[in-house]
Amino acid sequence: MRGIVSPKLTDFLALANSNIALAKQNNVQFTPTILRENLNKLGALMSDSPSVSYIADEALTLTDRTIPVRVYSPAPELPLPVLVHFHGGGHMCGSVALYDPICRHLASIAQCVVISVEYRLAPEYPYPAGVEDCEYALIHYAQLLNDVNHQDSVTIIGDSAGGAICTSLSMKSLTDKRIHIDQQILIYPSVDYTLTSPSLDSNGCGFLLETSRIKWYFEQYFKQSDQRSDQIKQASPLLGTINANLPKTLIFTAGCDPLRDEGIAYAKALSAAGVDVEHYSFDGMIHAYMLLHDLVKQECMTTYQRIAEFMAKA
């Protein structure tokens, strides 16, 4: 069923759809540079950015690379829970800088230490490079908090591709005891790279993120090889191991999102397996609504508040 979009987004989508149509008319091809620039433009719609008393750019250094991170704490002297954040962007776009307003809101409203991870992006670094960076950051996060008091409780959070990374790490934690996750928070997550969910058709055009672009993202994320088909299945949490040992989960879906149905299916699968799940649907919202704060402030603030309530129960 196709979603019915909120009137708050009508003008925004009219302009976005006009630009998309013009690009198609002029045969403008997707490129990483164009899509990264377009996503970064949404930063102008997050003008409400709260101050946070402690913000520091840190890094985890490995022999072959460095993983930059940004640490936020609203009260570094207090032992607050830890929230490790993986940004969205189709595994190709997004950054710590773009998501800075979101992480400020998370730290301020949920009263937690936020660690935002700058993982490697496709196509320069295809699967599983970004997941490996996030895994390393999750395992070694305590090295980043020498100047910040914190609890041992760890929650991971991600939107879209970041949600996919969360669910992949949660699934891996079932067999890899180095990975400790108390809870996961998923915001319109991508959890099935086989592209079989019905909403990819019903919501596949006209709502900013289009199915044609999703397919192109995935083509860049998974390197062309004999193992590509196996990688796609391996990376799809909806098709992987789902049992009662997965962490408690808070999941948000958007009614006008092409990824809506796979997020709903994942929530139902977790619940059926005995996992404690909270699922909220914002029926009139589109994919990436959290990046549109100035247009849908009420929905964004409600999302932050529910995250805060979820964190408080950890």
Residue 234: band (very low, low, confident or very high) from pLDDT cuts 50, 70, 90:
confident
**Residue listed under structure tokens 């909806």:** 238
Would residue 265 count as lying in a domain?
yes
Would residue 170 count as lying in a domain?
yes
Would residue 135 count as lying in a domain?
yes
Residue 88: band (very low, low, confident or very high) from pLDDT cuts 50, 70, 90:
very high
Active-site residue flag, 160: yes
Q: Which two tokens stand for residue 1?
A: 């069923």
Would residue 2 count as lying in a domain?
no
Whole-model pTM over 0.95: yes
Q: CA–CA distance from 13 to each of 20, 50, 205 (Å)?
A: 10, 27, 11
Would residue 245 count as lying in a domain?
yes
Closest CA to 148 of 50, 68, 66, 52: 52
Query: Which of 85, 105, 287, 293 is labelled catalytic?
Result: 287
pLDDT at 283: 98
Tell me, what CATH number does 263's domain have? 3.40.50.1820
Would residue 1 count as lying in a domain?
no
Residue 314: band (very low, low, confident or very high) from pLDDT cuts 50, 70, 90:
confident
List pLDDT tens digits, range 30-43.
Answer: 899 999 999 999 99
List pLDDT tens digits, range 199-208.
Answer: 999 999 999 9
* Of the listed ranges 137-141, 220-224, 267-271, the one predicted with least confidence: 220-224
Would residue 75 count as lying in a domain?
yes
Q: How many distinct structural domains can be found in the chain?
A: 1
Bridge partner residues of 281 (DSSP): 253
Helix 129-139 and helix 161-172, axial crossing angle in degrees, nearest 10: 60
List pLDDT tens digits, range 139-193.
Answer: 999 999 999 999 999 999 999 999 999 999 999 999 999 999 999 999 999 999 9
Active-site residue flag, 226: no
Residue 313: band (very low, low, confident or very high) from pLDDT cuts 50, 70, 90:
confident
Give the residue-averaged pLDDT of 230-247.
93
Would residue 178 count as lying in a domain?
yes
Active-site residue flag, 287: yes
Question: Residue 173's domain spans which residues?
Answer: 7-48+56-312
Query: Which of 100, 133, 257, 261 is labelled catalytic?
Result: 257
Query: Which of 108, 160, 170, 190 is labelled catalytic?
Result: 160
Asked whether the predicted pLDDT for residue 225 surpasses 80, the reply is no
